[in-house]
Amino acid sequence: MTDPFKDQVLARFMAQRGLKSTRQRGLIIDAFLQTPGHLSVEDLWAKVRALDPKVSVATVYRTMKLLLDCGLAHARNFGDGQTRYEAAVGKHHHDHLICTSCGSILEFENDRIEALQDAVASRHGFRVTSHKMELYGLCRSCQGQLESSAEEER
């Protein structure tokens, strides 16, 4: 693993629970942490199999659950049938703009929104541990392609 902080998070988590560090876990976790973006288990499995064709999907699923539990990964659901995973540490929290036409995903972060979220939550007595926010719409280029209908500039 390249990042000493993640390394430590993981090491402590595993030590606390008596988990063992295996070759497969190493492969999967490295591949996951080194890949930016939103990976499905299928994606990740493909990457890992390139390094070791014997690793089974089950192990990938099990390892992702591990990363989820220790907070190094977040799960996302963008509406196609698959759960996608994203590295969670070493990167600011961010949310997503998703183009419903071409499927492209743009990330953004906005502290003011986060602050308002916390405010809303505490108003309801909640202690927020995580959140997700997705904005769906048309990206710039897809808007251009659908230009046939009249529209105003801003």
Distances (CA, A) of 89 to 6, 10, 136: 7, 11, 25
Token code pair at residue 135: 């904005």
Residue 5 interacts, among a second copy, DNA, none and using kind-specific CB cut-offs from 5 to 8 Å, with none
Dihedral angle of Cα 110, 115, 67, 36, to the nearest 10 degrees: 0
DSSP-assigned letters across all residues of 68-113: HHTTSEEEEE-SSS-EEEEE-SSS---EEEEETTT--EEEE--HHH
101 secondary structure, DSSP code: T
Interface pattern 21-40 for DNA (x via CB under 7 A) = xxxxx--------------x
Q: Nearer Cβ to DNA, position 57 or 102?
A: 57
Binding of residue 63 to DNA (CB under 7 A): yes
Q: Is 132 in the site for DNA (CB under 7 A)?
A: no
Q: Whole-number minimum distance, CB 67 to DNA, in Å?
A: 12
Query: Which tokens go with 5?
Result: 């902080």
When CB distances are held under 5 to 8 angstroms depending on the partner's kind, the choice from a second copy, DNA, none that residue 55 binds is DNA
* Two tokens, residue 149: 């209908």
d(CA 51, CA 25): 12
Note the residues at the interface with a second copy (CB under 8 A). Answer: 16, 75, 77, 79, 97, 99-100, 106, 108, 110, 112-113, 116-117, 120-122, 124-140, 143, 152, 154
Please say which residue, 52 or 109, places its beta carbon nearer to DNA: 52
Contact footprint for DNA (CB under 7 A): 14, 18-25, 40-42, 52, 54-59, 61-63, 65, 80-83
